[in-house]
Structure 1
């Protein structure tokens, strides 16, 4: 290659480089201009967007300011109304206080005027009292001069005279009133008895007609009730006893008036609990067996009672009724035990009197036989017992003694009186009806002390096992009318201070004796 070619190549390279540089510069300037234009557009759009956001923010702020302004105005109006209401109340209270103040002022003036008037009256009364006191003293001096007695002596004589007259008049009036009241005594007595029955029948029935059966667990109650109550219905139907299953833990209550039915139900229920098989068919079978067993036990108890009393030849049905008395109580005293005691007492008294001992024991043992069926037959148990004895061919003396032991029939034989006395002794002896000997003796002592504490009483005796108190009075100090008053006073004090079963008869005796000597 020649020099010229090399020059051409160099020149061409230089020209190419220059043209490339110019082209690059042109392209670069073009790009810069485009970039500047883009930047201007972006800045312009950003400025517009910022202006829009600024306007929106300003509008939101104006809205918030407007809402706050409305809320503040509303709150201001509410407070303004409250303040106006308070102002009105304050004004009204002020007016009322002013009225009260005016009234209080008026009352104060009235009170002051009343005090002045009272002071004036007190002074006037004081003057009058002084005048009256001086006059009374003057009259007393004149009376003492006339009568020759002091004021205290005259008062005591006057009071004694008034007291004596008043007591005699009161005694006569009381006797007259009680004489008139005897016409209505029967009706009043029936009313009192009816009220007593109404008040105490519920408690007595609850105590005497309920038996509790203990269960091994609470789960047993559900088994006794059975599905839909069929077991409990079957047991009630078979025994005639109401089963009460309540919240009492591990206990079932059997309720029935007849103690025999309760005993059958108790035996059957205990046996079913022990056996564990409780269903209607099994219940009926167990109840039937228990009735048979109880009937055998009752006969054995009756036979044992006749053997213990030494009485033989009694009809088997009466023996069975005697056995039933084991499940009967009277004033918490077992009737069968009471009958055995009466038989023993009748035998001892008959031996002392030379009467027929066997007949006396027989009458004493059978005297309460009517109580075995008195809940099934109407009438007094003495009459019911006499009818039973007559039915089974007992002797007329035995029948009469049974009927007359509570005076439902007047006693007409020594045997009837004997049974009556033995019955009273057995029921009234200490301990027979849950009364301790110490309490019994103390009650008798209290009775006598109450009676002897009255003026004019000479002696007092508690008799009839504390059912009667006999009071002997001094005839010189107590007259007939005072005797009547004394009887009432003693009875009233006994009712107030003592607690006792039944009633206590108070008998006041005034006896005047004239003693002379023939020489």
Structure 2
């Protein structure tokens, strides 16, 4: 290609580029102009909308202001009406208060007048009272002069007369009520007690105060004593029992307060005599072994007692204490056998009364459990037994029945009364207990002495082995109504001053005799 052609092409390119730039600028200017026109239109439209919004806001504000003004005026009118109503009420109240004040003033005047009238009446009454007092004083002096006694003497005579009459009425009422109650209660009680006794047959007891060990010969006494008394000292030391070796032929007496220790000593001594080897070491060995055997026997005796009665779930310690009662006696009656007897009687009476037999047997079996430790713990055996029963998980009903069976606490349940009755039956039935002759005679003399100390009693006799007290009274001193009170007073005195098994019947007898001789 030639140079002229290239030049032309270059010029064409330059002209084209310049033309393109010019066209681009024109186009850009046109766009800018359009954008400015749009902006002016938008601003104008915005101004128009703002003017419209402003006008609308102004209109709304005016409407709101008008509404608030109308609401304020309405509230003001309502408030004004309420104030007017309140004002009227206040005016009415003021008028009412004024009327009430006037009424109160009138009442006050009337009260003042009434007070003056009352004061005047009081003065008149006081004057009349003084006049009456003077008249009565005059009459009293006249009566004293006529009757020959003072007012105090007449008052005492009247009180004494009323008291005597009240006593007679009370005695007759007590006698009638007791007769009616006894007629019903005794019949039922006799049936229940008779049934309980018929269904239980107990053994007669034999009096036992010491343990006696039989010896094969007299030479055995020397062997028991040992050289310089070492054997007997060892035996007494390890068993806690006193050995009495006297002139009794072929016998040794064991004496101890604790019956279990006495039993251990008896068995140990019998085994030593049978074995023939008697020396301190052997004595200690045998006593230790026998002690273990006796403890096992105590446990078995307690378990057998619970099995015989049908009482289960007892604490093992209570069972062991029951077994210890096997070696405890009261009035020569074995306490374990007595407890079994009371349990059976309690169960029978509970069945007759429709009560829980198992609970009754449980209370009867445990009622004397305190006697197992009463030589170790101070206090009445009933309260000791109640504490033991409570300690080893017995119910409050059982605990109370044990505590109340000797009235150390007042009985508060039927079960407690049943245990009392069964305990009295077991101890009072024929052959159940024995007393020493001196104690028996002293108890009879004490019964008669208590009865003779009452005024009007002429003679007193203890009969039926001390189960009944017959009291003879002087008919001119003690009346028919008084014998009821006298029998109750004697019974209360016996209960307070004496200790005895079972119960004592007090019979007061009053009779009038008229004697004349035909000549």
| TM tier, smaller | 0.3 to 0.5
Q: TM-score, normalised by structure 1?
A: 0.48
Q: TM-score, normalised by structure 2?
A: 0.48
